[in-house]
Amino acid sequence: MGEGSASTAHAALEADLRALAEVGAYDEAATIALRRAGPELLRFLVHAHGDEATGSDAFSLLAEDIWRGLAGFRWESSFRTWAYALARRASARIRKRGRREGIFEPLSNLGPLSAIVEEVRTHTLSVIRGERQSALELLRAELDIDERMLLSLRVERALSWPEIAVILADDEALDPAAPARLRKRFQLLKDRLKKRGRELGLVSSERDG
């Protein structure tokens, strides 16, 4: 999907979710959100963790957070920004407490959520497994998880620096200087990847921020 069509799809999803939220149809809104945005969010988590199982577990947490939290979402940011912020927090919870320590409530307790998550997971992981590894993927494997998230949000998702600052913030009190710091951090990361790419004989595919 090209940038233009992706932007149109994101705007359409945002409009649809807002319309459903206005009439209190939160279960329907969450279902649409997970079916349409879920593959992108699952891909983000799998690539960030570098592991299908851990990324999938983080996605299960994220799906539950969206399902439970959409009714309280105040639309102070876009749904997409909010969802990525939840994805980062779900990832942090997985890393902090471990994937197999009983941190999940059975998704079957949340109505149709289990089936939706399985539907998104089955299709998206099949697509990921069928992709050829790019030079960027080879270089990404050498990064830590926070660096992978920053790279993905800027290069692949083309999010703005203020949006990325909200997603990567450690708390709700966002530092006004955070976007500029992230931009500088990204530039240093990009320079490092270029150097490493030359050392490995790979062609770097990232673009300027």
For residues 202 and 124, state if they share a domain: no
- Domain holding 188: CATH number? 1.10.10
Helices and strands (H and E) in the chain: how many: 9, 0
User: Tell me, what's the pLDDT at 183?
Assistant: 97
For residues 79 and 99, state if they share a domain: yes
Measuring CA to CA, which residue among 154, 139, 143 is closest to residue 195?
Answer: 139
Q: Are 158 and 3 in contact (CB under 8 A)?
A: yes
User: Tell me, what's the pLDDT at 125?
Assistant: 93
Profile the chain (209 residues) by mean pLDDT over runs of 10 residues: 78 97 96 97 95 93 95 95 97 78 54 88 91 74 93 94 93 83 95 87 54
User: Tell me, what's the pLDDT at 107?
Assistant: 56
Q: How many CB atoms lie within 10 A of CB 65?
A: 18
How far lies 31's CA from each of 15, 57, 117, in Å? 15, 18, 10
User: Tell me, what's the pLDDT at 205?
Assistant: 46
User: Tell me, what's the pLDDT at 15?
Assistant: 97
For residues 127 and 144, state if they share a domain: no
Element (H, E) at 191: helix 178-200
User: Tell me, what's the pLDDT at 199?
Assistant: 85
- The domain boundary, picked from 78, 113, 131, lies at 131
User: Tell me, what's the pLDDT at 173?
Assistant: 63
User: Tell me, what's the pLDDT at 49?
Assistant: 93
Residue with tokens 């320079």, as numbered in its chain: 191
For residues 209 and 125, state if they share a domain: no
User: Tell me, what's the pLDDT at 186?
Assistant: 96
User: Tell me, what's the pLDDT at 96?
Assistant: 86
Measuring CA to CA, which residue among 177, 156, 188, 182 is closest to residue 167?
Answer: 182
- If one counts the domains in the chain, the total is 2
Measuring CA to CA, which residue among 179, 43, 51 is closest to residue 62?
Answer: 43
User: Tell me, what's the pLDDT at 3?
Assistant: 65
Domain interval for residue 165: 133-209
CA–CA dist 97, 154 (Å, integer): 28
Alpha helical stretches, state H, 23-132: 26-49, 52-69, 79-97, 113-129
